[in-house]
Amino acid sequence: MAKLAFQTLDDHSTPFWALIAFHVALVAAGLGAALYMEENGHIVTGMNNQVVWGLPHVFAVFLIVAASGALNVASVSSVFNRLAYKPYARLSGLLAIALLIGGLAVLVLDLGRPDRLLVAMTTYNFKSIFAWNIYLYSGFVVIVAAYLFSMMDRQAAKSAAFGKAMGWLAFGWRLALTTGTGSIFGFLIAREAYDAAILAPLFIAASFLYGLAFTVLVLLTMSRETRDELMPEEMLGKFRGLLAIFALAVLYFTAVQHVTKLYSAAHQGVELFLLRDGGVFPLVFWLGQIGIGTVLPLALLAFAPRGTKGRLAIELASALFLIGGLAQLYVIIIGGQAFPLALFPGMEVSSPALDGEVGRYVPALPELLLGASGVSMAMLIVALALRLMPFLPKAPAGEVSANAATAQGLGASDPMPSGRTL
C-alpha cells in the first residue's frame, strides 16, 4: 500500500466562506437564545411540566449519538484492518470530537446554570445513568484525542501496537457511550415509550448511520473546496453500501421495538399514540423518519448513477438520513413525554396538575436556534482543525482529480493541469 499523505485546507472559495459565516451567525444566535431562555425561564419555550426535555435535547442527543458513529470509519481501518478506510481515519476522529462537543454544549446550555457545570462533574450519584455518562463523554474526548495522536505524531505512528491498542480502546468506549445514551431512556421505566432494553442497540445502529452520513457530507464538501477527489468511485461505492446497511439496521430495530410493544397489552396505548392517534407524532414518524428519512434516501442510494449525479444523490441521501434521525429522536424523546404517565394502571386519572392528559408541546424559536447552533459549532470546529492541521487525505503526486479537471473546464482530450493534487 502506498504511503499515505495528508493536507490542510489552504484555499477557500466564496461558497466556503459563506458557509463559515452562516455557521458563525447560527452559533451566535444559539448563544443569544440560550441567554434569553436563561434570563426568562422556560415560560418562553414550548416546554412545560409534562414535556421537560424539548427540541434542544433532541439535537443534543442526536449529535452525541452521531459523534460515536463518526468514529466508525477510523475503527474499521484500525480494529478491523480495512486499509482502504485508513486515509479517512483522522477526519473520522476529528468529527467524533467535534460532534460530541457540539452536542454537550447544547445540553449544558439547555439545562441552564452552566456556571454550575463543575458541581455536576465533581458530585456523583452512581446509581444514576446520568452520572456514568459524564465519565463516558469526557473519557471519549480524551481517548479519541489520544487515538488521533497515535495516528498523527511521527514517533507514535511508528508503533503499530500503540495505534492498535488505542483503536480498540476507542472502539469499545464508543460502544459503551452509545449504550449509555440509549440506556438513559431504556432505564426510565415510568415512561411507557422508553421502557425498553432494545433502545441501546437501536442507538448503536443509529450512531453508525448518522456518523457516517456526517462523514460523507464533510468529505464531499471538502472535495469541492479542495478540487480533489477525496472519495474515489470505489470508496464512494463502499460508503454507499454502508449507508444502506446501517439504514436497514435502524429500520429493523425500530420495527422490532414497536412490534414488541404492540404485542404487550400494557404498551399498546402508547404505541397507538405514537403510530396512529398522537397527532403530530405519527406524522413525524411515518413521513419524517420512515418516508423522508429512510425510504427516500434508500431509493436514492439504490438508483444512484456513477459520476457527478451519483455523488449528488449520495450527498442528498446522507442529508435525508440526518433529517430522519432528528425525526426519530423527536418521536422518542418528545412523544415519549407527551403520552401521560400511568400513575394508576387500569384507571382514569385527572387532576389540576394535568395528570392523565396528553402533554402539549410546540417548539419555540429559541429552542430551534440553540439546537441548530450545536451542529454549526461542530462544523466550525472541524473547519478550524482542517485549516490548521493535516486531517484531509491526499493522493500520491501525479494524480489529478475529476473535480480539478471540471473546475478548470477541461475536456476528456485536454492535457492534465499542473495544479494541486489530492
pLDDT in tens, the chain (422 residues): 456 777 777 766 677 788 889 999 999 999 999 999 999 988 899 998 888 899 999 999 999 999 999 999 998 888 888 888 888 999 999 999 999 999 999 999 988 777 777 777 777 777 777 778 888 898 999 999 999 998 887 776 666 778 888 889 999 999 999 998 888 888 887 788 888 889 999 999 999 999 999 999 999 988 888 777 788 888 888 999 999 999 999 999 999 999 998 988 778 888 999 999 888 999 999 999 999 999 999 999 998 887 778 889 999 999 999 999 999 999 999 999 998 877 666 667 776 666 667 888 999 999 999 999 999 999 999 999 988 888 888 765 544 444 444 444 434 334 333 333 33
Question: Looking at residue 188, what is its pLDDT?
Answer: 82
Question: Looking at residue 395, what is its pLDDT?
Answer: 62
pTM to 2 decimal places: 0.88
Cell of 259: 412490534
What is the Cα–Cα distance from 383 to 371, expressed in whole angstroms? 19
What is each CA distance from 34 to 102, 118, 256, 369, in whole angstroms?
Answer: 14, 19, 37, 9
Cell of 9: 485546507
H-helix or E-strand spanning residue 7: strand 5-7
What is the Cα–Cα distance from 3 to 157, expressed in whole angstroms? 13
Cell of 209: 448511520
Which residues, at least 6 apart from 345, have a Cβ–Cβ distance to it below 8 Å? 266
What is the Cα–Cα distance from 141 to 397, expressed in whole angstroms? 34
Question: Looking at residue 225, what is its pLDDT?
Answer: 80
Phi, psi (deg, nearest 5) at residue 250: -65, -40
Which residues, at least 6 apart from 284, have a Cβ–Cβ distance to it below 8 Å? 327, 330, 331, 335
Burial class of residue 158, CB neighbours in 10 A (0-12, 13-18, 19+) = exposed
Let me know: does 84 contact 76? Beta carbons within 8 Å.
Answer: no
Question: Looking at residue 163, what is its pLDDT?
Answer: 81
What is the Cα–Cα distance from 87 to 76, expressed in whole angstroms? 11
Q: Length of the chain in residues, anyone?
A: 422
Q: Which domains does the chain have, with CATH numbers?
A: 6-341+372-389 (1.20.1630.10)
Question: Looking at residue 353, what is its pLDDT?
Answer: 65
Name which of 325, 301, 159 is nearest 250 in CA terms: 325
